[in-house]
Structure 1
Amino acid sequence: MPPAPDQNAAAVRAAIDTFVRDHFHLGATLRLHRSALGWDLLRAPVNVALAPIHLVMALFALAARLIGFRRFGAWLMARRVMLRTSVAQRIEADIATDLLQGAPLTPRSQALIDNYTSVRSAVAEITTSLIVLTTGWLIFGTATPGIASLTPKVSGYVGHATAVTNFPLGQTLGGAWYGVFPVSLPVWTVIAIGVALAMTASIVTTFAGIIADPVQAHLGIHRRRLTRLLFKIALAEGDAPGLAPEHILARISDIADAGMSLLRVFRS
């Protein structure tokens, strides 16, 4: 006798729970991110730069589907824009082995798995944005949703501290002097600090899953995403992957960051 549907469902849930425990709890995600010690440190900043292009293509694909060009929309959504990281490759391979039990992947199944890992990358970007926002709030007492809004704050702090330290009449008088006459930094210095902060943020993004994965595992988010993934793969037919809200959320911080930077320019 074949197993009852309830037994199959229970087996799938157990497999998903095991997968989440083996990959996304704290100790497991620390082991997982060992794969990022290498070329992922270079792939991460490239992917951060390519993420807006990925979002624009996904929006065009969605628009194409809405106006009836479903094949073109599916083709556009299937285009790979971002680089596949070593961490993503490992997760994809383990999904195929542990959850799909080595079944051959169709192009649609591979696209669904790619979409799953891209959502995880978007969550890593969101986590980095929250870290930048919290850092700006705690240190400078203001919202800094991204590197563009954090750079002037850090540049001002570094410039002021350096000028006070090097003041000829001592740091006490230097603090008083530069409290009245603000330090003016060369443009190249501000740019250099911004580049350094962007590189630091890309490294944080590479390892942001160490924070984000256990939180999502505890909240059941990873379990729900994997359940949806397996359900869509089991359908065998259907639309190509759609635009996940995580990608939009990841870009909201960029829009807020750009808006705050423009506002600062207009005020100055």
Structure 2
Amino acid sequence: MTRPAPFQDEDALRAWLDACRARIQPFARRHLSLAGSARLHRAALGWDVVRAPVNLLLSPLLVICRLAGHALRALGLRRAGGWLVTRNFLLRTDVARRLEIDIRREVLQLRAAPLRPTDPLETWLATALREYSGSRAAVAEMTVALVALSVGGAVFHALTPGMVSLGPNLADAMALEEAIQGFPLGNTAGAVWYTTFPPEAGLPRTALVTLGMVAFGAMATAFAGILADPLQTRLGLHQRRLHRLIDGLEDTLLRDGRSAFRSNEHYMARLLDMIDASLGVARGLGG
């Protein structure tokens, strides 16, 4: 694979890779701290509030393709499996584009836009950077789920790992408050009565509130990185991902390998989605 000029010499290339690794920690502190992430997410004030919900809908398809690709590889169909594993259906957000440019400029010290986009190295790097951005998006989804879990536990004393399971609880709370306010003997007596005999929210209200919460959560995903990025930087997760990216780049350039940068965050986010959906359906049906 073609090496970036002027790093045709192996020693110079190794020195460049080591310098890239040394720049990771300062980069994370500058761009992925609380203040840095807030600056980065200014780019989300636009079409990202639309792209984030669309990506949330596309994420299960991404996971299905990757699981199918791994299955085909296990069956010996490596070419077909490799093609499926490398598919990325997610829309590129403005936040992701901004971060990818910053990584190219400040960590790798390359041009913001490649001179030869079809070069194998640039193709590898573009795929790796999109995967890195995708992992951030998945963590943002999990952050929204954890916020829902915290709200559900604190307010409703219920397990709500997402907006689907939080919605029915909120609908019931709205129905309870409405019933108490309309109780003929006053609010205090109404609170006692409806605490003993809680009113039903009804399927239409439950569905409407849940859909509203899902829509709100999907749009909130565009900005959830403001909370998630500083925590991940503090725990060293962002730094480890970037080190893995450089390691893959080193393998590609020095050993002519094909180490793809892949993240597992998508699988964890979808697992939370399945748990959330199961709890939400059970709660909505009165289970």
- TM-score relative to the length of structure 2: 0.84
What secondary structure does 2:244 align onto? helix
Show the counterpart of 1:83. Answer: 91
Structure 1 contact 44–205 (Cα < 8 Å) conserved: yes
C-alpha distance 239-9 of structure 1, shift in aligned 2 (>3 A): closer
- The Cα of 1:156 is off from its aligned counterpart by 0.7
Alpha-carbon deviations, 1:36-69, whole Å to 9, x = none?
1111111111111111111111111112222222
RMSD of Structure 2 on Structure 1 (CA): 2.4
Q: SS of the counterpart of 1:173?
A: helix
Q: Is 1:34 aligned to 2:42, yes or no? A: yes
Query: 1:11–1:114: structure 2 CA closer, same or farther, 3 Å change rule?
Result: same
* Residues 140, 228 of structure 2: 8 Å contact kept: yes
Match for residue 96 of structure 1 among 99, 104, 122: 104
What's the counterpart of residue 251 of structure 1? 270
Quote the offset at 1:9 in angstroms: 5.3
Bigger proportion of residues as helix: 1
Equivalent residue, structure 2, for 1:24: 32
Q: Deviations over 1:108-156 (max 9, x none)?
A: 2211111111111111111111111111111111211122221121111
* 8 A contact 1:146–1:257 mirrored in 2: yes
Contact 2:69 2:82 in 1 (8 A): yes
Looking at structure 2, the residues matched to 129 and 240 of structure 1 have their Cα atoms a distance apart, in angstroms, of: 31
Alignment-derived partner of residue 137 in structure 1: 153
Amino acid at match of 1:23: H
How many Å apart are 1:3 and its aligned residue?
6.6
For 2:274, the aligned partner's letter is I
Hey, what's the Cα distance between the residues in 1 that align with 2:17 and 2:126? 22
Letter in 2 for 1:251: R
Aligned residue in 2 for 1:109 = 125
Number of residues paired by the alignment?
A: 268
Structure 2 stretches of 5 or more lacking a match? 1-8
* 1:16 to partner: Cα distance: 1.4
Structure 2 SS opposite 1:84: coil
Give the Cα separation in 1 of the matches to 2:200 and 2:10.
Answer: 77
Q: Which residue of 2 aligns with 1:174?
A: 190
Measured against aligned partners, the alpha-carbon deviations of 1:177-211 in whole angstroms (never above 9, x if no partner) come to 32343322332211111112112212332111111
SS at match of 1:218: helix
2 CA distance for matches of 1:199 and 1:2? 51
1:1-268 equivalences under 5 Å are 8=16, 10-102=18-110, 104=114, 106-234=122-250, 235-236=252-253, 237-239=256-258, 241=260, 244-264=263-283, 268=287
The Cα shift of 1:169 comes to 3.0
> AA paired with 1:55?
V
SS of the aligned residue for 2:55 comes to helix
Q: CA–CA distance in 2 between the matches of 1:239 and 1:170? A: 71
Identical counterparts, % of pairs: 38
Question: Aligned equivalents of 1:47 and 1:96: distance in 2?
Answer: 24
Aligned to 1:125, what secondary structure does the other structure show? helix
**Higher alpha-carbon deviation: 195-204 or 149-158:** 195-204
Letter in 1 for 2:164: A
| Range with greater deviation from structure 2 (78-87 or 65-74) | 65-74
Deviation (angstroms), 1:266: 7.4
- Give the whole-Å Cα distance in 1 for the aligned partners of 2:216 and 2:162: 12
